Amino acid sequence: MKRDGCIRLVALLITILAFEAMTSAQKPSGLKLVGKISLPTLHDGDFDHFAKDLKGNRLFLTAEANGTIEVFDTRSNKLIHTINGLKSPHAGLYRDDVDKVFVVDGDASEVKVYNGTTYDLLGRISVSIDADSMTYDPQTHYMYVVNGGREAKTPYSLISVIDTNTSAKVRDIKIETNWVEALLLETSGPRMFCVLTGKNAIGVMDRNKDSLSATWPLPADAKHPVSLGFDEAGHRLFVATREPGKLVVLNSDDGKVVAQLPAVGMVDDLSYDSKQKRLYLPGDGFVDVFSQTDPDHYTLLSRIPGSLRAKTGLLVPEWNRYFLAVPRHQKEPAEVRVYDVEP
């Protein structure tokens, strides 16, 4: 090849590589880090779940191993209060219409009720040991709380129905497995989806009844399911598993598996963004952001650096924000990372 031909070829290759680099740099990651809230007084140990106060611009974070609830102002991105005196808080709910905070305290075998302004303890609702995940029905004001099972040394678990109007337990629903994780309600009907970790399956029940109506097995190579997300309009249920880390997509009408993708491990929360058509999976070291092309097709949009055991995250679409709880480790203080959701 002549010298000028070689020069033109090299120039063309440089142009192509530069264009690819520029295109890659411009590719959206889905989340943009805009702030950090330091929590220097917390010692080592996991967080579990967030709860939100939309009107008051607050977040409540259960610091499970520290026995506290950390309260943040999301306008200033500052810690404004710490609720002490819990044994192992897992999940929380804030009701702005009655200004109360309900916290599932697993090792105390109870749901604690606090004043949402003064943070004074108002009451306790007894459940079985190892109370953990919960979900809430704003129509009935019932909270559904997973408890019992492995720590109670029973072959079954309980889903306790709590009336948050009266702060009293209505009934217990017996589930025939000793390990239940996340719960999720549909808004267009009476169904509740349950992660039956002990059966490697998803349970489906009418929440007005006391038994499962269906059990949908997960793939044999996707074990230890923990988290749930829901595209109700698209009839898709999302499940995060840990052995190995996977995103499994089910048809929410019949439980058929429509997609499986590798994902970060140790996910504890899963958020579906109906506006951007994305899923956010926080796990050990990364936050995986998946893009939904259509109900049957998904791609990994980006893998955002997280931290060790930073598996607790929350999307708040009303604020266009995503929050990631990062535990303390190797003398690095605990913090909450604040992200803007990018279009």
User: What is the C-alpha to C-alpha distance for residues 290 and 301, in angstroms, rounded to an integer?
Assistant: 5
Q: Is the pLDDT of residue 113 over 50?
A: yes
pLDDT of res. 331:
76
Chain segment 79-103, per-residue pLDDT in tens = 999 999 999 999 999 999 999 999 9
* Residue 233 β-bridge partners: none
Cβ-contact 202, 193 below 8 angstroms: yes
User: What is the C-alpha to C-alpha distance for residues 109 and 112, in angstroms, rounded to an integer?
Assistant: 10
Q: What percent of the chain clears pLDDT 70, i.e. is strictly above it?
A: 92
pLDDT of res. 152:
95
pLDDT level of residue 330 (50, 70, 90 thresholds): confident
Radius of gyration of the chain (CA): 22
- Using the CB atoms, write b or e for 184-210: b if 16+ within 10 Å: bbeeeeeebbbbbbbbbbbbbbebeee
Chain segment 178-219, per-residue pLDDT in tens = 999 999 999 999 999 999 999 999 999 999 999 999 999 999
Average pLDDT over residues 44-73: 97
Q: Which helix (H) or strand (E) holds 292?
A: strand 286-294
SS3 readout for 43-90: CCCCCCCEEEECCCCEEEEEEHHHCEEEEEECCCCEEEEEECCCCCEE
Nearest CA to 329 out of 14, 114, 91, 44 is that of 44
**Pairing mode, strands 334-341 and 68-73:** unpaired
Nearest CA to 310 out of 343, 342, 280, 290 is that of 280
- Write the CA distances from 128 to 168, 172, 281, integer angstroms: 14, 10, 29
Residues 6+ apart with CB under 8 A from 211: 173, 174, 205
Cβ-contact 29, 342 below 8 angstroms: yes
Local structure of 17: helix, strand or coil: helix
Mean model confidence pLDDT for the chain: 93
The reply to whether the predicted model has a pTM over 0.85 is yes
User: What is the C-alpha to C-alpha distance for residues 33 and 310, in angstroms, rounded to an integer?
Assistant: 15
Average pLDDT over residues 36-52: 96
pLDDT of res. 179:
98
Cβ burial, residue 334 (10 Å; 0-12/13-18/19+): buried
User: What is the C-alpha to C-alpha distance for residues 27 and 171, in angstroms, rounded to an integer?
Assistant: 50
